[in-house]
Structure 1
Amino acid sequence: MGPRTFKCLIQGCFKEGLFSNPCWTLHLSCRSKANPCRRRSKNAPQNLRFNCTGLKYLEPMYSSIAIEGGIGAGKSTLATWLAQDLRAECMLERFEENPFLEKFYENPDAYGFSVELSFLADRYKQMQQAILGRNLFKQRLVCDYAFAKSLIFAKVNLPKEEFDLFKTMFQMMAAQLPSPEVIAILNPGRTQQEAQILARGRSYEQALPEGYLDRVAKGYEQHFKHARGSRVLWIDTSGLDFVARPEEKTALRDLILAPRKPGVHRLVAAS
């Protein structure tokens, strides 16, 4: 089959909807001895690459990815870059709009329930807007948090009676939201985590209570022991510094996008 015939065949498949699933990106090898270059047809879909040799491989392009991890793990930095790289919608947590956040760090006992309830309501609102806003041009979503973050931090920050009430509210909301296909949990190691917290310069984070980061880390470990239908990726990023060395983000991208069945996976990112 010549390249022109093959191209027409593939374009016909797209026309008939055979490759219409937005969760998959089709790659076609375009390399031969006579034509070593790799080129894209002007009329081809954005995610389609042509060449003489036919189908090369199918790469799963998950439609919803949540980047997670402790405070200062690099979630927002990676999520922003990944969304741009995948041409996906990016949804970042609006922590600066929480009126109780700084007050919570000053007086956790007095403002714990208020800060967690405010985060819960705003995250739910963001998720609902993202679901309703999906269309032909915005099929993929990358977030710098999973909705379960609300439950994890509430368990760390609230006394049992308040947590039980909070959990009931959380479960009612969570039942109306789809789980991310991939939840990538970044673990940069304590030394790097503390350095990144210091570097970003949020005044209210500079005097965290002793043991607080450990309690948050334990909360993540307990909650994400089970996959709950998602691909939960525990990624050791201690060997990377993608904030200082942006080129290392590609290593994380490749780990996150690799084909995997739902389940808990422990991985190490190497530069």
Structure 2
Amino acid sequence: MKIQRIIYVSMGTNQGDKLDNLQKTIDLIANEVGAILKIAPVYKTPSWGFDGDDFYNTCIQISTYQAPEKLLNSLLAIEKKIGRVRNDQPEYQNRIIDLDLLLFDDEIIFSKTLTVPHPKMLSRKFVLVPLNDIAPTLLHPIEKMKIEHCLQHCEDPLQIERIAEELVRPIPLSEKYNYIAIEGNIGAGKTSLAKMMSDEFNAKVVLERFADNPFLPKFYEDKERYAFPLEMSFLADRYQQLSDDLAQFDLFKNFIVSDYYIFKSLIFAQVTLSKDEYLLYRKMFDLMYKEITKPDLYVYLYQNTDRLLENIQKRGREYEQNIEKEYLKSIQDGYSNFIKTEQDLTILTIDVSELDFVDNKSDYTEIIRQISSH
């Protein structure tokens, strides 16, 4: 399990739409660094150390799993995205955004590229005042004084003024949702996405145990003969796994991501079973479905069938190599009908046909953005 760190970052801007600069930066930090826990009020302050336009300054508290050096690189990359161009001039300058890492838990860091706590934070009111708003009792790791006492001892003569406008805190996934189910056709990437989300958000992950099903290889060799035992065994296993695994977690305290939802059993059964077999299967399914915990969000990953076939070939499971395009299309149609008619679930469809979220960080970030903003 990754270690969660609490950090504090000072933010400042004195160019363009200053409030918008701060908000866009906060949104990027939420997407690329970690959950925003607190945002201080915004303060208007005179330029410090040079003759320039007034700044808007604030501080934010962040929960992150990034190590210090990785975190520094992330903050610098966000500055660049907002439009800051750094140069080698030593004097202070106007800037569209300025991010300073103030505190990283209670650690003291001295390296070639990073010093924490920030060496000048105690001499600047535009840092200490907003920091005091969100963390007055936090101890400075070197001075061993609370931030509120550090502010009282600050001799910075500059006057700062709180503005009325407020910034909006992005709600992190772990607060917005307790249970997300990732779904999609064979080869859509649902397991990969579930694992990546589990790793990033330290979520509990529930993965389908398809590899242990003895009927699966036989089904691809003789669909008519093995369809019913395959679908019944999948249904029983999915029901047991979801019932057992979800029961172990407190859905009000844990963030859970699964790479399937039990309704996929019905979608596949509609395609593979005869009419009489399906009617019997449906009776069993309806009894089980009533007892299953419903996800807060059902995410369906749409992939076109050509990409599905490419992914299936790439992952190299021998028993999947003869899957036909028409079979995938029929499964796709089953999911489409389910999404159109289902009224008891909150459903988000994401077209990933042109995305490579496994190897392309920006594609993965875009998926998380869509889930977060849904």
User: In the alignment, which residue of structure 2 is the partner of 1:113?
Assistant: 228
User: In the alignment, which residue of structure 2 is the partner of 1:37?
Assistant: 100
User: In the alignment, which residue of structure 2 is the partner of 1:140?
Assistant: 255
| Partner-residue secondary structure (3-state), 2:335 | helix
| Partner-residue secondary structure (3-state), 1:166 | helix
User: In the alignment, which residue of structure 2 is the partner of 1:27?
Assistant: 37
Determine if the alignment matches structure 1 residue 193 to structure 2 residue 314: no
User: In the alignment, which residue of structure 1 is the partner of 2:50?
Assistant: none
Higher relative contact order by CA 8 Å / sep ≥ 6: 1 or 2? 1
Distance 1:37 1:201, change over 3 A: same
| Partner-residue secondary structure (3-state), 1:224 | helix
C-alpha contact 1:39 1:51 (8 A) present in aligned 2 = no
Distance 1:136 1:235, change over 3 A: closer
Instruction: Give 1:197 deviation, angstroms.
Output: 0.8
| Partner-residue secondary structure (3-state), 2:308 | helix
How far apart, in 2, do the equivalents of 1:171 and 1:51 lie? Answer: 54
User: In the alignment, which residue of structure 2 is the partner of 1:211?
Assistant: 326
Instruction: Give 1:223 deviation, angstroms.
Output: 1.2
C-alpha contact 2:178 2:251 (8 A) present in aligned 1 = no
1:1-271 to 2 correspondences below 5 Å: 27-29=37-39, 33=57, 36-37=99-100, 42=105, 51=131, 56-59=168-171, 60-135=175-250, 139-258=254-373, 260=374
How far apart, in 2, do the equivalents of 1:195 and 1:211 lie? Answer: 15
Distance 1:34 1:171, change over 3 A: closer
C-alpha contact 2:296 2:345 (8 A) present in aligned 1 = yes
Stretches of structure 2 that go unaligned for 5 or more consecutive residues are 1-34, 43-55, 60-98, 107-129, 135-166
Distance 1:246 1:117, change over 3 A: farther
C-alpha contact 1:154 1:163 (8 A) present in aligned 2 = yes
| 1:65 alignment partner AA | I
Distance 1:138 1:27, change over 3 A: closer
C-alpha contact 1:29 1:51 (8 A) present in aligned 2 = no
The number of equivalent residue pairs is: 229
| Partner-residue secondary structure (3-state), 1:211 | helix
Stretches of structure 1 that go unaligned for 5 or more consecutive residues are 1-24, 44-49, 261-271
Instruction: Give 1:27 deviation, angstroms.
Output: 2.7
TM-score (norm 1): 0.76
- Work out which of the two has the higher radius of gyration on C-alpha atoms and give 1 or 2: 2
C-alpha contact 1:28 1:56 (8 A) present in aligned 2 = no
C-alpha contact 1:90 1:142 (8 A) present in aligned 2 = yes
How far apart, in 1, do the equivalents of 2:266 and 2:309 lie? Answer: 23
Residue by residue over 1:207-230, the C-alpha shift from the partner in whole angstroms, topping out at 9 and shown as x without a partner, is 113510110000001111134332
C-alpha contact 1:73 1:188 (8 A) present in aligned 2 = yes
C-alpha contact 2:179 2:251 (8 A) present in aligned 1 = no
How far apart, in 1, do the equivalents of 2:58 and 2:206 lie? Answer: 45
Instruction: Give 1:240 deviation, angstroms.
Output: 0.8
Q: Among the aligned pairs, what percent are the same residue?
A: 36
- Which moves more between the two structures, 110-119 or 238-247? 238-247
Distance 1:97 1:28, change over 3 A: same
Instruction: Give 1:29 deviation, angstroms.
Output: 2.1
| 1:77 alignment partner AA | S
| 2:230 alignment partner AA | V
How far apart, in 2, do the equivalents of 1:248 and 1:240 lie? Answer: 6
| Partner-residue secondary structure (3-state), 1:96 | helix
